[in-house]
């Protein structure tokens, strides 16, 4: 019998017999938590952030998974994510996205209002929380009602401005573009095609 391995736990004897004499211990921070525990805590924080969104925000957030360069919003978006959507608005935005031909994953539609009995109400808490998570370069705000809800102190003038590292693009909304307001559509097209991604 080899008395050198008497103090070893049964689990480690076979390893010792094969020549293993040292084991690396996981890195431990000052508080005594291992790196794995810290990583697990970060994962749990992310999960709790995801579950804190009501629908439809949670569904969109979970589908997107990660940063996105450009967030689009308009006042009626919450309604258009339900069964009472407007076919005209859906068709309009689908044609804009197709005409731009941006790479997949560049845009996420993120509502700033919530449908309740009797209409739409602002939900800027959900909106800004999601925007922080997406960390976009651009926020494209379609229409006055959406713009005034998010930026009540800004002048009602189409164009761009920067705030906290975010470029806000304010352009006409679907009610201005539909049924076929070509002047409004030109403002929208110019505002979107002027965006750069470098």
The DSSP output letter for 66 is S
**How far apart, in whole angstroms, are the C-alpha atoms of residue 40 and residue 45?**
9
What average pLDDT does this structure show over 89-95?
96
The residue written with tokens 């401005």 in the block is 161
Binned at pLDDT 50, 70 and 90, residue 114 comes out as very high
- Give residue-wise pLDDT tens across range 4-40: 444 455 554 554 555 555 554 444 444 444 444 344 4
Asked if residue 110 has pLDDT above 90, the reply is yes
What per-residue string of b and e applies to 2-18 under the rule 16 or more CB within 10 Å gives b?
eeeeeeeeeeeeeeeee
The phi and psi torsions of 24 (rounded to 5 degrees) equal -85, 135
Question: Which of these, 100, 113, 133, 104, lies nearest to 73 by C-alpha position?
Answer: 113
3-state secondary structure of 178: coil
What's residue 37's pLDDT?
A: 39
CATH number of 55-193: 3.40.470.10
Report domain extents, the chain.
55-193
- Integer distance in angstroms from the first to the last C-alpha of the chain? 70
């Amino acid at each position: 019998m080899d008395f050198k391995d008497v103090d070893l736990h049964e689990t480690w004897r076979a390893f010792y017999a094969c020549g293993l004499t040292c084991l690396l211990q996981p890195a431990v921070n000052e508080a005594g938590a291992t790196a794995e525990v810290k990583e697990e805590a970060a994962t749990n924080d992310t999960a709790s952030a995801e579950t804190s969104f009501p629908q439809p925000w949670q569904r969109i957030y979970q589908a997107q998974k990660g940063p996105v360069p450009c967030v689009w919003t308009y006042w009626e978006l919450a309604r258009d994510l339900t069964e009472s959507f407007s076919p005209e608005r859906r068709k309009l935005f689908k044609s804009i996205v197709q005409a731009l031909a941006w790479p997949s994953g560049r845009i996420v539609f993120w509502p700033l209002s919530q449908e309740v009995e009797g209409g739409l109400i602002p939900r800027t808490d959900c909106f800004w929380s999601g925007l922080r998570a997406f960390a976009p370069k651009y926020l494209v705000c379609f229409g006055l009602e959406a713009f005034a809800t998010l930026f009540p102190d800004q002048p009602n003038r189409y164009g761009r401005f920067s705030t906290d590292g975010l470029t806000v693009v304010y352009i006409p909304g679907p009610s201005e573009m539909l049924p076929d307001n070509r002047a409004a559509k030109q403002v929208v097209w110019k505002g979107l095609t002027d965006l750069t991604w470098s």
